[in-house]
Amino acid sequence: MLSIVPRDMGWIEVVCGPMFSGKSEELIRRLRRAEIARLKVAIFKPAIDDRYATGHIVSHSAQRLPSIPVSSSAEILEKARDSQVIGIDEAQFFDIDLVDVCQKLADDGKRVIVAGLDQDYRGKPFEPIPQLLAVAEYITKTLAICVQCGSPASRTQRLSKDSERVVVGAADIYEARCRFCHEVHDDD
């Protein structure tokens, strides 16, 4: 992070990309560095995401940090008041109010680091990430590797026939694909 930023100034960082691109790993890396710097860190994840552990954010490579599961973005605002750095994983599972929550936290002088999918399984913008990208000071777009051709992958391919926008899953339901190998079916 830039050393020219005053300690009491807040900002928003967004780490986005497809599944299997290292978003949670990057979030964990940044949060661990904040802990090393002896900053007070609060970490949140949506309660709906219970794939690996309910009380931890966990990367697909099994890196983990303790976190607080919350049912709404409003809970983050309530529970992060005493923290200097706030980490939020799987932001695509939160309501659009997450944008206002992040803005409020940053306005209060906090560093807010958000990770999430920027596109849904159809390749469409996945709220609230596009809105967070518009107000963030720092943006990192991560890419995975396309399992079909080995090119950089910016999309998430759903392997099941579920048509709901939100279906929580991992390698059993999703894989990374590039723009050319990503398939959207007519019924999607």
> pLDDT for 28-48, tens place per residue?
999 999 999 999 999 999 988
Number of neighbouring beta carbons within 10 Å of residue 63: 16
CA atoms within 13 Å, Cβ hemisphere of 73: 20
Q: Bridge partners of 69? A: 45
Low-confidence ranges of the chain (pLDDT < 50): 1
pLDDT at 148: 97
Q: Against a cut of 0.85, is the pTM above it?
A: yes
CA dihedral sign of residues 59, 10, 2, 154:
positive
**Is there a catalytic annotation at residue 90?**
yes
Q: Show the tokens assigned to 177.
A: 């694909």
CB 19 within 8 A of CB 174: yes
| Cα(61)–Cα(67) distance, integer angstroms | 17
Q: What type of residue is 27?
A: L
Backbone angles phi and psi of 117, in degrees to 5: -70, 135
Can you tell me whether residue 30 is helix, strand or coil?
helix
pLDDT at 62: 61
pLDDT at 14: 98
SS in 3 state form for 72-102?
CHHHHHHHCCCCCEEEECCHHHCCCCHHHHH
Candidate list 26, 35, 78, 90, residue with the active-site label: 90
Q: Set out the domains of the chain in order of their start, with CATH numbers.
A: 11-142 (3.40.50.300)
pLDDT at 164: 80
C-alpha distances in Å from residue 93, one per residue of 50, 87, 98: 12, 14, 10
β 152-153/144-145 pair status: antiparallel
